[in-house]
Structure 1
Amino acid sequence: MTLYESLAQRFIDDIVSERLPIGSRLPALRQLAQQQSVSLTTAGKAYGYLEDRGWIYARPQAGYFVANRSEITEFPALSSHSLTPRDPSQFAPTQGYDSGLTGFAPLGTSLLSPALLPEADLTRTLKRVTRRASQSMFSYPESQGLSSLRQALSGHFREHHFSFNARELVITNSCLDSVRIALECLTQPDDAIAVCSPCFSGLLDLLTTLKRKIIEIPVTHEGIDLAALEKCFAKQKVSAALLSTTHLNPLGISLSTQQKQAIAALAYKYRMPIIEDDVYFELSHQKDKPLPAKYWDKDGYILWCSSISKVLAPGLRLGWCLPGRYFDQFYGHHSYTSMGVNSLVQACIAEFILSGDYHKHINKVRPILQSQVHQYRQFLTEHLPANAQISAPQGGLVLWLRVPGMDTNQLADEARKVGVDIRRGSCFSTHQDYNDCLRINCGWPLEQTVDGDSAQVQLKRLCKLISEC
């Protein structure tokens, strides 16, 4: 064991024995180095080791604190493993995102607070690109996407050990747009699609619009039910699968490397197209990002979809897809239905990546988001009933909560009356197994005030409603 690992282990022992309780502040790096007679480098490595393994978290300009590592082991899975296709238009409720919602509602929609976005850097980049590329606005954009943006994205992901050729990438208007194109060019109305359960409500809405049926594959804290997924493929019950694999919304978990490898293997074995929705890929709470299932797809059956919406600015509406062996179908359908993506936005994002500002932003926001999630979990642990369960995500923006026996449909209606927006569990399935669950967004700093209100105040209202139910 190295010196820094030995030092880290002492902290782990103190945390496990509760000599260091949850939320305790740890010594500053310089203080730790002096106390233990080690270098600042060794002290930093020890804290980095603890942070990467979820024992501690950093609060910007405040220091390091002991994290709540309680594991959730009993979140409900589907009680029925029936692989009968279901029509989401008849079973799934229309109670998800409400574009007409007014007022400050930080807990509902999964997004970062504007205060955490690089507004000044983006504005400078946009002005610089506009001066340089004004003529490009008077012609149609390249259907596949600007070469400079595809090259920039290829280089960016290569730094994270996920390599692909820029010629293989297609730029779209969002991750959801990529998913739509993939579904439209690979499946037909009334086809059944395998999806994760619980499944992001926006995907259920899209599948409803496209008149596709679904078969829900159970996902728990241990991962996806690979046996059920393979049974769907083997019996040809589905035409494709639409799966999230990293920081799943709403559970927050990431599938293990072994499961991602298995998904790629199943795609090849059954020649089954799998659409991988990976919109939270960049938002790992750890320094090292998990690789997508696409990384292990050597035969091109996985279509990898992502975007900048959750990381940078949802209003810019820019995403991409690696369609693999389905490139011609995907690119052709995209060309005929959208005529490309806004050239100015593409040029701006390419410049933002190549300048290093995108990488800098991600490195800055990652520890902030990690800290916020821990703060939300700690607040909820202190204010919710003792039987409440709270997910422990390693990335993404959301927490999945369960209060056994609670009707979160009624809770959501009551919450809206006091200005609190949440996502009820029934939004994420065509089944009734998640009716005592809810999802909240952690993308807003707890104490950030907007119009005299804050996320912390809204959490207090929500906890009060739960305790009164």
Structure 2
Amino acid sequence: MPALYQTLAESLMQDIYSGRLQPGERLPSVRRFSRQREVSLTTALQCYRQLEAEGFVQARPQSGFYVRHKEKPPAGPELPVFTGRAARVANIGAIEEVQAVSSRRDFAPFGVSLLAPSLVPSDMLQRSLIRASRRLGERLFHYGPAQGDAGLREALARHFKEDGMAFSPDDLMICNGGMDAVSLGLQLCTQPGETVAVLTPCFSGLLQVIESLGRKVLEIPLHYRGIYPERLRAAMARSDVKACLLSANNHNPLGFTLSAQEKKDIAAWAAAYQCPVIEDDIFGECGYGRQRPLPIKSWDDEGWVFWCGSVSKTLTPAYRLGWCAPGKWRQAALQHRRALTISVNQPLQAALADFMHCGEYRSHLRKLRLSLAQQVDAMSRAVLQSFPAGSTVTEPEGGYVLWVTLPPQCDGWRVFQRAAQEGLSISPGTVFSITERYRHCIRLNAGWPFDEKAQAAVSRLGEICREAVT
């Protein structure tokens, strides 16, 4: 269940949605609000910080908190026609080609969402690995528990508790990265040939794993600020849709975060229609606000949300460490793990547990979020300066990718091919859908410091885009 401050924040969100609180209106002071609601000053401040993180209010120095104008879905480009028919992912070859180019270490790293090594505390991670290996002793030569290292699950549960998420160590299972957790959820919640609803544009890796498991995809359209709630609800109510795979926080590639009310609604629809939600929360800890946004799982009272996370986007994908909270599929997940992979890398689990116990992970996240916000802002401004007239770029609330919409006559796939010839990797929009509807879009990684070299690369990409306008 959500913490008290989250319940209070949700109440104020409803006041903002309903118009009882108007844009520009000043909220009561933290002290006054705590007296009005009979809560502690800490709870009152946490409530306001949550509203700030969700984009509902703005803190003004020496003045207080004010209601922000909550934008409606922008008119923007006309929404593509969605047929409402499920289909297999037919562009796997294109996805694999993009992955091959993006994995080139000698290329400018705009194609894959990856942090620069300079943003990762590698020395501290190394020390944690050494300490953990010593403590493991003879356990280094044995299989670990199928559910994952108890110390790591305890460390994760404590870490999440600080962000208002109530997990016990027993609720969690350690996986071989976030995609392993997502794959596990798909295998337990659906059968080959069945349909999985996704929000589109959708991260190509998710489409890839759906196809590898023999499932079909039903695309649900997004606008640049989030979901069309009734379209998502209608999809979840369909008898042929057996699960919904989505990200609610710092969406890849659009960068939005759903409101608390939207997350609560999705959890309620999952239970009402018995439609499992596989929640990919891999960018959940990469928001730019002080408060980590809660996942849909926080409103899941009946276990219909299969929550997945990882340190791949906050530390390193090389560790291949992720986790899931399987909900009502907990026992099935354990059986699956025992039968197929037995356990996850024991020394690295122990190292991550040590890193979290020392407080280093939370300290790292605070620094990382600031760096990401600065890098994304710098790259966004450079794109708008360098790319063809009429190009637009998203304004993400978290994460470190930018979705660029080029003029309609500009072919993103041609840009990808031409850029690759010059040692520049990007992700063309065509790999984020099972159709061609995003052919005039590209996604850029902003996970590296925006230095002179990055500036020059973006400028050259802009030239390539202008050349690709037909």
Kindly state the Cα deviation for residue 165 of structure 1 after the two structures are TM-superposed. 1.0
Match of 2:441 in 1: 437
Is the Cα–Cα contact under 8 Å of residues 309 and 317 in structure 1 kept in the other structure? yes
State how 1:326-337 maps to structure 2 within 5 Å. Answer: 326-337=329-340
Deviation at 1:456, TM superposition (A): 2.0
Distance 1:76 1:254 in 2: 20
8 Å Cα contact 2:249-2:293 kept in structure 1: yes
Tell me which residue corresponds to 1:407: 411
Q: 1:229 Cα shift?
A: 2.3
Does structure 2 conserve the Cα–Cα contact (< 8 Å) formed by 1:178 and 1:319? yes
Given that residues 420 and 461 in structure 1 are in contact (C-alpha distance below 8 angstroms), is that contact kept between their aligned partners in structure 2?
no
Normalising by structure 2, we get a TM-score of 0.82
Partner of 2:425: 421
- CA deviation after TM superposition for structure 1 residue 224, in Å: 1.6
Shift of 1:179: 0.7
- Would you say the 8 A contact 1:279–1:306 is kept in 2? yes
The whole-number CA distance in structure 2 between the counterparts of 1:135 and 1:358 is 27
User: Could you tell me which amino acid in structure 1 is paired with residue 457 of structure 2?
Assistant: Q
Q: Which runs of 5+ in 1 are unaligned?
A: 1-47, 57-69, 449-453
Residue 84 in structure 1 maps to residue 85 in structure 2:
yes
Does the 8 Å CA contact 1:149/1:346 hold for their aligned counterparts? yes
Asked whether the 8 Å contact 2:116–2:447 carries over to 1, the reply is: yes
Q: State the 1:231 CA deviation.
A: 2.1
Correspondence for 2:464:
465
Q: Which residue of 1 aligns with 2:244?
A: 241
CA shift, 1:212, in A, is 0.6
Structure 2 SS opposite 1:438? strand
CA distance in 1, matches of 2:83, 2:233: 14
**RMSD (Å), alpha carbons:** 2.4
Counterpart Cα distance in 2 of 1:86 and 1:270: 22
Unmatched runs of 5 consecutive residues or more in structure 2: 1-48, 60-70
| Counterparts of 1:461 and 1:55, CA distance in 2 | 37
SS at match of 1:133: helix
Q: Which amino acid aligns with 1:289?
A: R
- Aligned match of 2:397: 394
Whole-angstrom distance in 2 between the partners of 1:196 and 1:77: 17
SS at match of 2:188: helix
CA distance in 2, matches of 1:190, 1:218: 22
Q: SS at 1:97's partner residue?
A: helix
2:99 equivalent in structure 1:
97
The 8 Å contact of residues 407 and 436 in structure 1, kept in 2 or not, is answered as: yes
Following superposition, the deviation at residue 76 of structure 1 comes to 4.7
1:302-341 deviation digits (Å, cap 9, x = unpaired): 0000000000111000000001111111221122111110
Does structure 2 conserve the Cα–Cα contact (< 8 Å) formed by 1:107 and 1:455?
no
What is the identity percentage for the equivalent residue pairs of Structure 1 and Structure 2?
A: 37
**Structure 1 position 165 matched with structure 2 position 168:** yes
CA contact (8 A) 1:278 1:292 kept: yes
Could you say what secondary structure the match of 2:219 adopts? strand
Q: Match for residue 44 of structure 2? A: none
Distance 2:91 2:413 in 1: 17
Equivalent runs, 1:22-171 vs 2, <5 Å: 73-74=74-75, 76=77, 79-89=80-90, 93-94=94-95, 95-98=97-100, 101-171=104-174
Where does residue 370 of structure 1 map in the other structure?
373
What does 1:208-223 align with in structure 2 at a 5 Å threshold?
208-223=211-226
User: SS at 1:303's partner residue?
Assistant: strand
